[in-house]
Amino acid sequence: MYLPNKERYDEIEQAVYEMLEETGINTIPIDPFEVARRLKYVLVPYSSLKKEKFIEAINRSTDGYSAVEKDSSGMYHYYIYYNDIVKTTCEMRHMYWTIMHEIGHCYLGHHDLTEEELPDDVAEAEANYYAKYTFAPTPLINAYECKDANDIVDKFNVSYESAGYLYRSYWNWLHNGPINYLPLEIKFLNWFLAA
């Protein structure tokens, strides 16, 4: 499985910060619906699709996907299709993650590249990191003194599965990262904590 290198992680973190500035969103938990709305990305729930389109969507992904499509006026937009057939809080949180993951594909420009330029495993890893860092930037996990994955679930409204990944990443950052906050990490802290 591909994992971005340190330089690419830094670029993705910078892109997340730029997206937050662009949208003006500075409160936790992050609402992916509001992010998409402010970026003018079109959200399409699976439940709104006609039968044939619904089957196509489910066959493409049971969770969701994004694409660049032309609207009725001939303008191109990012469309994010997502499975909104959820029954539990955990499924709802997974849906939020899916939407943010797809926002990552759009915001990082993945749809502008071919499979040869950006293999699927690379695009998926980058979109996952984008979603992770948008929902719970590592310095913010530290500032909120999250002691375990449960604290991350409570504070950032992510699924338990996501919180496990986030906590492992946080633990690694805490024990192997720099002693002091980096300039971009300070920007994240100021963006959220000064709000």
* Interstrand relation of 76-82 and 42-45 (parallel, antiparallel or unpaired): parallel
Backbone phi, psi, residue 84, to 5°: -100, 10
At residue 27, the pLDDT reads 94
* Other C-beta atoms lying within 10 Å of the C-beta of residue 30: 23
CA of residue 98 relative to chain centroid, distance: 7
At residue 2, the pLDDT reads 59
Q: 74, 54 in Cβ contact below 8 A? A: no
Give residue limits of the domains in the chain: 6-193
Quote the mean pLDDT of the chain.
94
**First-residue to last-residue Cα distance in the chain:** 38
Which is it for the CA torsion 71, 128, 30, 104, positive or negative? Answer: negative
Mean pLDDT of 48-57: 96
* Other C-beta atoms lying within 10 Å of the C-beta of residue 120: 10
% of the chain at pLDDT higher than 90: 85
pLDDT at 1 over 60: no
pLDDT at 150 over 70: yes
CB neighbours of 164 closer than 8 A, spacing ≥ 6?
149
Q: Quote the CA–CA distance of 144 and 170 in Å, as a whole number.
A: 12
Higher pLDDT, 4 or 171: 171
Q: Quote the CA–CA distance of 154 and 137 in Å, as a whole number.
A: 15
* Other C-beta atoms lying within 10 Å of the C-beta of residue 170: 22
* Other C-beta atoms lying within 10 Å of the C-beta of residue 56: 12
The model's confidence at residue 194, banded by pLDDT at 50, 70 and 90, is confident
Higher pLDDT, 139 or 4: 139
Global pTM reads 0.93
Mean pLDDT of 113-140: 93
Q: Quote the CA–CA distance of 111 and 66 in Å, as a whole number.
A: 9
At residue 179, the pLDDT reads 86
The model's confidence at residue 177, banded by pLDDT at 50, 70 and 90, is confident
Q: 39, 16 in Cβ contact below 8 A? A: no
pLDDT digits (tens, 9 = 90+) for 81-116: 999 998 888 899 999 999 999 999 999 999 999 888
pLDDT at 4 over 80: no
pLDDT at 125 over 70: yes
pLDDT at 195 over 70: no
